[in-house]
Structure 1
Amino acid sequence: MEGQETLKNPPESSDNHLPATTTTTTTEEVEEDINTALDLTSYQLHDLDSVELPPTLVELDLTANRLSQLDPRITLLSHLKKLSLRQNLFDDAGIDSLSSSHAISGLEELVLRDNKLTKIPDVSIFKNLLVFDVSFNEIPSSSGLSKVSNTLLELYVSKNEVTKIEEIEHFHELQILELGSNRLRVMENLETLINLQELWLGRNRIKAVNLCGLKCIKKLSLQSNRLTSMKGCEECVALEELYLSHNGITKMEGLSTLANLRVLDIASNKLTAIEDIEKLARLEDLWLNDNQIASLEDMAEAVAGSRETITTIYLEHNPCAKSPNYTATLRQILSNIQQIDSQVFA
């Protein structure tokens, strides 16, 4: 995803901490795993001539190889549910055989990310498809998505050259839509995505927020677009994470109704004050660095509802960050703060 990711580091694991009990794996179980799942990631294979493909395979991962043509044996794997061809050299012709492979029509997850595709492949044969990923290709249009099954839960078309959101109206079950790093200018045709929970549109050319009446979205990213206003999110009351960094936003607004908001990222904009978040009682991470916020004078009032919940705040590269006792003032206001800018507290 192109949203600002993990804000806190997970605890490091240690080989010294072994489980108290161990589970014995039988030879039969090992053989069953081998016969149902095959992971050939990063073998730099140019073809699969030397590879045995058990007919019982349910999962086949061919990520990071040098494949350009689909091995015909793959199209005969009638039990196959997950197929990853990520990071290979497939062009449109190289995967043509997928369109007529009735034996694998039960496929639920198809990953074609990071190849050389110039169009959405015809995957209409897969009536139970849940995950479809064609990110990091050379696709100029979303034309062809109308043939993708309406059972789809996750759709990834990031890092292509798509100019318009279209042919997605039938995805009533869709939960995740990723269209970051394209050439989109308008948010449109989202009205029927009534179950959408995550919308990732960073690194496009969008000038205005338009969620088309959707109210169930939990994660929204519009980082690195051309926004000058953040109006348009007011009715998204389920929203938990909002990423709007690297735009031209001048005022914090439309936030007071977002009672479930936990993460708010408005870094690298043109803000001069912290506003409209005093009623938010669940806010944990607040990113306001690289703006024009002059003072901490009204800080306590600005974050009144979340003084006990905010654990991470970024305000560096604002004029207020140069004020005397900057860190001490924030620690006094935010009773459970764990991180201020890059400084982490025990």
Structure 2
Amino acid sequence: MPISKIYCSCHLLLFFLIFVKATPKCEITNQQTEHHVTCTPTDNSDYNLQRGLVSDNNDTIKLTLRACRISQVELEAFENLFALEYLDISQNKISELKLGVLDGMLQVNHLNLSHNLLTEFSLFDQKPNLNTLDLSGNKIENLELAIFDPLVKLKWLDLSDNALKGKDINPYIFDQSTKINYISFARNNMNQSPENLLSALEDLRTLNLDRCLLTEIPAFATGRNLRTLRELIISTNQITKLDDATTFINLENLNTLNLAYNVIKSIDFNTFKSLKKLRVIVLRGNKLTNIPDTLFKDMKSVGNIDLSHNEITSISVNAFRGTSLKNLNLASNRITYLTDNFCLELRNSGAILTKFYFNQNPWQCACLRNILEEVKKYKISYNGVMYDGKHPICVTTSENSCKRHDTFNSVYTELYDRLVLGLQIDT
């Protein structure tokens, strides 16, 4: 055989072996109830998904191609999957999905395209039954008007971690997808979003605005139509204050409000009063130095309050009277004392603590001793890892008594910073 033919044959064989090696391995699982196909990569090579690997099977109900190193999807790759209801092609390297590539799968109700490299998409004309759509972790910059219009049954939409700008999103983009009850814009820039962005939604339950570069509570998150909202997440933004008592007035059914890791310094005492059904409020990691004495008073549904990792120097038991408080987190603040019989006072007002975290504060030793006696008496869980007598956890002066007055705070905080934290205090 001529050398050139041998070389050519070897070259073709090598190409064939590489191609076969890179093809994902697919297995059928759970055959007794449904036809599930799950594919996994066979090596570290990128793969061009073509017709033949998973196509042309009318028995397939669920198809998972997660993390298969797919970089391209050919037009007929999903041909003749008429029974398919669940499609997951997340965690791949897909930068483009050709128009029509997902057509024909009319029964699909779950579509996961997350963590690819998509910059745009226009794929939903043939998806009348889609109710779950995950587009998170892509590079999408723009949402074309009417893109979601065919998705009249859509309930769950994740747009988080893209390159969206709220000011560029058309306010009528959800006009036909009115049944959405979960939506996430987390890790996008949602500043200057139109006030009526979500005004068409009739049953929104969860709205996630974590890490959206917000400097204030956005109007589109508190509209009149959002009385259905149960969970509002606005954590890790740049909100500095909550000084408008009407901010949350429309959210009468809200259960959970997460404002953690903003830079909130002040809160109007009536800010949360309209939230009659609020159960959980998270203000962890802000810049609060104090809270109004009546901030949560008589909010009967409130059971979980997280005020940890702030700069609170004193706090009144009055702030929690009339609640259903069970879990209270005051850890990592600047508190040196609490009201005498703090836990008992809460019990007398209807709040029965089951968990109470107060560690990492510059406690006066006598005041801390009082708290520990109370939590043990009432069998309240607390973080006592450092309370073993081997670690410095509080400070005292020659007058070893609990001084419950703010005029003494600076004395004990300076002692704590210097003796416990080892900080150099300027004099």
TM norm structure 2: 0.62
CA distance in 1, matches of 2:394, 2:289: 24
CA distance in 1, matches of 2:175, 2:241: 27
Indicate whether 1:143 and 2:194 are aligned: yes
Q: Which amino acid aligns with 1:175?
A: R
Question: How far off is 1:52 after superposition?
Answer: 4.9
Indicate whether 1:298 and 2:370 are aligned: yes
Q: Structure 2: give runs of 5+ residues left out of the alignment.
A: 1-28, 37-59, 64-83, 397-427
Question: How far off is 1:234 after superposition?
Answer: 1.6
256-265 or 226-235: bigger deviation:
256-265
Indicate whether 1:176 and 2:231 are aligned: yes
Q: Which amino acid aligns with 2:215?
A: T
CA distance in 2, matches of 1:39, 1:131: 19
Q: Structure 1: give runs of 5+ residues left out of the alignment.
A: 1-22, 324-346
What is aligned with 1:201? 259
CA pair 103-51 structure 1, distance change in 2 beyond 3 A: closer
What is aligned with 1:55? 106
Question: How far off is 1:51 after superposition?
Answer: 6.4
User: SS where residue 144 of structure 2 aligns?
Assistant: helix
Question: How far off is 1:283 after superposition?
Answer: 2.5
CA pair 24-87 structure 1, distance change in 2 beyond 3 A: closer
Question: How far off is 1:135 after superposition?
Answer: 0.7
CA distance in 2, matches of 1:148, 1:84: 20
CA distance in 1, matches of 2:233, 2:200: 15
CA pair 142-245 structure 1, distance change in 2 beyond 3 A: farther
Indicate whether 1:307 and 2:378 are aligned: yes
What is aligned with 2:5? none
Would you say the 8 A contact 1:62–1:85 is kept in 2?
yes
CA distance in 1, matches of 2:352, 2:88: 41
Indicate whether 1:244 and 2:307 are aligned: yes
Q: Which has the larger radius of gyration?
A: 2
CA pair 101-238 structure 1, distance change in 2 beyond 3 A: closer
Question: How far off is 1:102 after superposition?
Answer: 2.8
What is aligned with 2:141? 91
CA distance in 1, matches of 2:276, 2:230: 13
Would you say the 8 A contact 1:175–1:198 is kept in 2?
yes
What is aligned with 2:356? 286
Once superposed, what is the RMSD of the aligned Cα atoms? Answer: 2.8
Question: How far off is 1:263 after superposition?
Answer: 2.1
User: SS where residue 273 of structure 1 aligns?
Assistant: coil
What is aligned with 2:400? none
CA distance in 2, matches of 1:148, 1:229: 39
Would you say the 8 A contact 2:190–2:214 is kept in 1?
yes
CA pair 24-224 structure 1, distance change in 2 beyond 3 A: closer
Would you say the 8 A contact 2:235–2:258 is kept in 1?
yes
Would you say the 8 A contact 1:118–1:138 is kept in 2?
yes
Q: Which amino acid aligns with 1:36?
A: E
Would you say the 8 A contact 2:235–2:260 is kept in 1?
yes
The CA deviation string for residues 294-338 of structure 1, in whole angstroms up to 9 with x for no partner, is: 22331255437x722x23425749954689xxxxxxxxxxxxxxx
Indicate whether 1:36 and 2:92 are aligned: no
CA pair 256-89 structure 1, distance change in 2 beyond 3 A: closer
Q: Which amino acid aligns with 2:144?
A: D
TM norm structure 1: 0.76
Indicate whether 1:77 and 2:83 are aligned: no
CA distance in 2, matches of 1:243, 1:219: 8
CA distance in 1, matches of 2:189, 2:174: 18
The CA deviation string for residues 95-148 of structure 1, in whole angstroms up to 9 with x for no partner, is: 315x34432122111110000011163323211110111010122134343534
CA pair 290-315 structure 1, distance change in 2 beyond 3 A: farther
User: SS where residue 123 of structure 2 aligns?
Assistant: helix
**Larger relative contact order (CA 8 Å, sep ≥ 6):** 1
186, 189, 193: which one aligns with 2:241: 186
CA distance in 1, matches of 2:95, 2:198: 32
CA distance in 2, matches of 1:51, 1:273: 65
The CA deviation string for residues 185-242 of structure 1, in whole angstroms up to 9 with x for no partner, is: 3334201101000001112232233214323111101112221223311232212221
